[in-house]
Amino acid sequence: MSLCDDTLLCNFPKCRTKLSGFVWVTACSHVFCDQHGSGEFSRSPAICPACSSALSGKLDIVRTELSPSEEYKAMVLAGLRPDVVLDISARALAFWSYQVHQERIYQEYSLSRADTQLKQMEKVLTQQNQSRELELNAMRGEIASLKKVMEEYKRKYSEVSERLMERNRQYQKLQGLYDSLRLRNMVVGVGERDTLPQSGFQDFNTGAAQQSTPQRSPQSFSLGPDRDGRFFSCLEADGAKTFFQFSSPAREKGRSFISNH
C-alpha cells in the first residue's frame, strides 16, 4: 500500500480486509474493521489485538467514519489555530505513514516467508526428483532385465514348441506303424484260423500211417527218451548181433544136428 492508496487494511491478524465505512482507530496507530473492533473493544480493559497494548484512556479508542460528509469536514477543524490544524494534520499523516510502513514490513515478511517456503519446496522437489530419477533408473534396469528374461523364455518356448512338434510327428509316425502292424496281425490271425483244421487233419493221417508201418530195424524201436539211444548205440558200436538175431541153446543144438547129418 502506497501513500497514494486511499484504502486501509484491517490490522486484525486473521482479517486483513479493506476498510470502508466505520472503523476503530487506536492510540497505538492501529485500525480495525467495525466487526472486529466492536468485538474486541467491548471488553474491559481493552487491549489492542495487533500489538497487545493496553488502551485505558478515554480517547485511546475512537470509532470514526472513513468517508465523512462535507458538513463534518467543514466543521471538524473550524475555529482551530493553524498550528493546531497543522499538528492534527501531521499526526493524521503520521498515522497514515505508519500504516504504510507496517504494511510494507508485513508484505516484506510475507515475501520472505514465501521465499523461504519456495526454497524449501524447491529443495524438497529436487530431492523428490532425484529419488524419482533413481526409481526410474531402477525401473528401467528392471524392465531391461525383464525383457531379457522374456526373450529367454520366448527362445525356450520356441525350442519346446519345436520339440513338441517333432514329438508329435514321431508319435503320428509310430501310431501309423502300430495301426499297420495291428491290421497285419489281424489279417494273419484270420488266415491261420482258416487253415488250422485242414493241416491238423493231414497231420493226424500221417501219424496213423507211420504207426501202421512195421518196424524192421531195431533202431526205430523206442524204449525211452534217453535209454533207447544208449542201448542200441552200444550194440551197434561193438559189432554185436541185434536183439532179433540172438538164438536160444535148443535152436543151436538142432542147427548143429542138422549140419552133422
What CA–CA distance (Å, rounded) separates 41 from 22?
A: 14
Do residues 12 and 33 touch, judged by C-beta distance below 8 A? Answer: yes
pLDDT value at 121 more than 60: yes
| pLDDT value of residue 219 | 44
What CA–CA distance (Å, rounded) separates 174 from 172?
A: 6
Amino acid making up residue 26:
T
List the one residue out of 84, 72, 89, 85 whose CA is nearest residue 22. 72
| pLDDT value of residue 164 | 94
Amino acid making up residue 163:
R
Can you list the pairs that 129-134 forms with residues at least 24 positions away whose Cβ atoms lie under 8 Å?
Answer: none
| pLDDT value of residue 181 | 92
List the one residue out of 66, 30, 78, 74 whose CA is nearest residue 50. 30
What is the pLDDT of the chain when averaged over all its residues? Answer: 78
Identify the residue with better confidence: 87 or 205: 87
Q: Which residue has the cell 486511499?
A: 6
Q: Which three cell numbers stand for residue 130?
A: 532425484
